[in-house]
Amino acid sequence: MGINIAIDGPAGAGKSTIAKLVAKELSFIYVDTGAMYRAMAYYMLSQGITKETEDKIESICEQADISIKYENGVQVVYLNGENVNAYLRTEEVGNMASVSSAKPAVRKHLLSLQRNLAKENNVVMDGRDIGTTILPNAEVKIFLTASSYTRAKRRFDELVAKGETCDIQEIQKDIIERDERDMNREVSPLKQADDAVLVDSSELSIDEVVDRIISLYREKTKEMC
Ligand code: DC
């Protein structure tokens, strides 16, 4: 059984940046479960599914064979044998992921992949329901959040750095809509686990958040000895 650190929180709270750094510091593997849901969304888009035809998602999700490999320490997502990492970070895929991840059959399809990775390895796993559903016995649970404006601004800066034109208000609106869907869906809604530590990153630097999580991990492992 591996040691498990679960980091949940809304889109844009900095989960993946923080989780990667914590994993590096502790020599754990970083598991990005959002990328698995994005691969599923990418599959749905490739099958012509839109928000209007979302009722077909559950019947075809079994056809998406999603697996994970680590290549030079980087998580690579395979969809039916193809490396799809390059296609997962678009807004279109992110928005479809929010729709398709609300479907019980999609969540069931990805559950054992996530649990097996955590069973066989020491992991820092990020997502929405890791502390509540996937790894309820994780040694450390963090709920990482930030204001919707802070999160929109971070996304805006990332897109501008890539040379894309975008509108911060539009991004904030998308983030608020996505939060609404993620927090109010029936299956595995985004919520803080009772035993998770709340960290608001709005006013904290990346290093401060990483140090906080590493200290929590060290306290916990000291208690376990
Ligand atoms: O973290 P992200 O933006 O890459 O996630 C994309 C979508 O997938 C997001 O809308 C919520 C969903 N998701 C989920 O429901 N459960 C997870 N464990 C991870 C992501």
Q: Could you read off the pLDDT of 94-118 as tens digits, one per residue?
A: 989 989 999 999 999 999 999 999 9
Q: Is 80 left (phi over 0), alpha (psi -120 to 50) or beta?
A: left
Question: What pairing do the DSSP bridges indicate for beta strands 29-32 and 123-127?
Answer: parallel
Q: What is the pLDDT of residue 5?
A: 98
Ligand 1, atom nearest to 130 Cα = 18
198 has pLDDT over 90:
yes
Choose one of 101, 115, 171 to mutate for the ligand 1 pocket test, by most ligand atoms within 8 angstroms of C-beta.
Answer: 101
- In sequence order, the 6+-apart residues with CB closer than 8 A to the CB of 194 are none
Ligand 1 neighbours (beta carbon < 6 A): 11, 33-34, 37-38, 94, 97-98, 101, 127-129, 178, 182
CB 75 within 8 A of CB 121: no
Q: What is the pLDDT of residue 125?
A: 98
Residue of the nearest CA to atom 2 in ligand 1? Answer: 34
How far is the centre of ligand 1, averaged over its atoms, from the C-alpha of 224 (Å)? 31
Arithmetic mean of pLDDT, 38-61 = 95
Beta-bridge partners for 69? 76
Query: How buried is 32 (Cβ within 10 angstroms: 0-12 exposed, 13-18 middle, 19+ buried)?
Result: buried
Model pLDDT for residues 123-171, shown as the tens digit of each residue: 999 999 999 999 999 999 999 999 999 999 999 998 999 898 899 999 9
Residue of the nearest CA to atom 13 in ligand 1? Answer: 34
219 token code pair = 């306290």
Question: What pairing do the DSSP bridges indicate for beta strands 74-79 and 66-71?
Answer: antiparallel
Average confidence score pLDDT of the chain: 94
Ligand 1, atom nearest to 16 Cα = 1
User: For the stretch 162-194, what's the b/e string if a residue is b when 16 or more beta carbons lie within 10 angstroms of its beta carbon?
Assistant: eeeeeeeeebbebbeebbeebeebeebebebbe
- What is the length of the chain? 225
Q: What is the pLDDT of residue 70?
A: 93
Ligand 1, atom nearest to 134 Cα = 18
Arithmetic mean of pLDDT, 26-43 = 97
Q: What is the pLDDT of residue 1?
A: 76
Residue of the nearest CA to atom 10 in ligand 1? Answer: 98
Model pLDDT for residues 69-85, shown as the tens digit of each residue: 999 889 999 999 999 99
Q: Cα 175–178–184 angle (5° rounding)?
A: 135
47 token code pair = 């099958």
